[in-house]
Amino acid sequence: MSDTKLPAHMDPKNSFQGLILTLQNFWADQGCVILQPYDMEMGAGTFHPATTLRALGPKPWRAAYVQPSRRPTDGRYGENPNRLQHFYQYQVILKPSPENLQELYLQSLYAIGIDPKVHDLRFVEDDWESPTLGAWGLGWECWCDGMEVSQFTYFQQVAGYECAPVSGELTYGLERIACYLQNVDSIMELNFNGREGDEKITYSDVFLQAEQEFSRYNFDHANTDMLFRHFKDAEDECKALLEAGQDGNQHKLAMPAYEQCIKASHAFNLLDARGVISVTERQSYILRVRELAKACGGAWLQTESGGA
């Protein structure tokens, strides 16, 4: 059970931010560096360089962070109880994956108030693949009483490179878990700050307007000419940086190059939401982002943190 010493407004059962803070504390205790969200738009916590890049190369690494995730096609103007174009993922990466990773994960659930003696916790097969990142891994969807609450993946390949050692990646769907813990049916009803009465701030207070406005933007107003241009610019810049950074066996610009790859990927996601990319073109855009990701992964492996 969650720590009884926590004040009520910090209890994950009452508070969205309490949930996040509990996970931060838990993983900090496991030796993770607690990072802050990456300051760029991305589709999932995996895109954060602390996962994508750090998963490559021989050096051990443990990190945990919240990452705002943008899925423009999932926008529903705030009307769908379970679907948002902007949501939070809690991301943990442990490299090499420790032998007791499943155990640690279950303890983290216990910490946020999910008792495995009462709840039916299950590891259900899930092969994870990110075509844009040239990455794949094997693991599970983690189910709590029939609900998928996390993804659990052993990375096998990232950016086209074999992962050795293998990283274990945990991704918690924070809003969904919070709905379960707080016993509400819609994300918008979540108690964000754990307070009651006048002090109570709901998820809707924080994000409803944003969901409405960004759904409009994503589906109707995003300037597609500009986005195509942005995609091309980011792609060009990425390639230019990859070339400029090469210094013998070393690479000096791997991270700035990778940021451009993230930019291109997000521009693609927006274009996809605007419905201006046909099925066949879609494949070729995914391929272009993957080529960038692969080249960035290769560059990273030639940096100090990449183990060069």
- Number of residues this chain uses to bind another protein (CB under 8 A): 42
To another protein, the closest distance from the beta carbon of 247 in angstroms equals 30
Whole-angstrom Cα distance, residue 202 to residue 89? Answer: 18
To another protein, the closest distance from the beta carbon of 301 in angstroms equals 17
Of the candidate residues 26, 61, 65, 180, the single one contacting another protein (CB under 8 A): 180
Partners of residue 68 on adjacent β-strands? 88
To another protein, the closest distance from the beta carbon of 24 in angstroms equals 25
Whole-angstrom Cα distance, residue 270 to residue 26? Answer: 35
Of the candidate residues 71, 119, 239, 252, the single one contacting another protein (CB under 8 A): 119
Of the candidate residues 118, 199, 220, 249, the single one contacting another protein (CB under 8 A): 118
State which residue, 144 or 158, has the beta carbon closest to another protein. 144
To another protein, the closest distance from the beta carbon of 12 in angstroms equals 16
Which among 10-18, 24-32, 92-100, 200-208 is the span making contact with another protein, rule CB under 8 A? Answer: 92-100
Contacting residues for 181 by C-beta, under 8 A, at least 6 apart: 12, 13, 19, 112, 113, 114
Of the candidate residues 4, 5, 39, 117, the single one contacting another protein (CB under 8 A): 117
Give me the residue label for tokens 């274009």. 271
CA distances from 47 to 12, 130, 200, 248, 255 (A): 26, 10, 33, 27, 12
Whole-angstrom Cα distance, residue 144 to residue 177? Answer: 9
Whole-angstrom Cα distance, residue 201 to residue 219? Answer: 28
Residues of this chain that bind another protein (CB under 8 A): 80-82, 96-99, 102, 116-125, 127, 137-140, 144-147, 154, 156, 163-166, 168, 180, 185, 275-276, 278-281
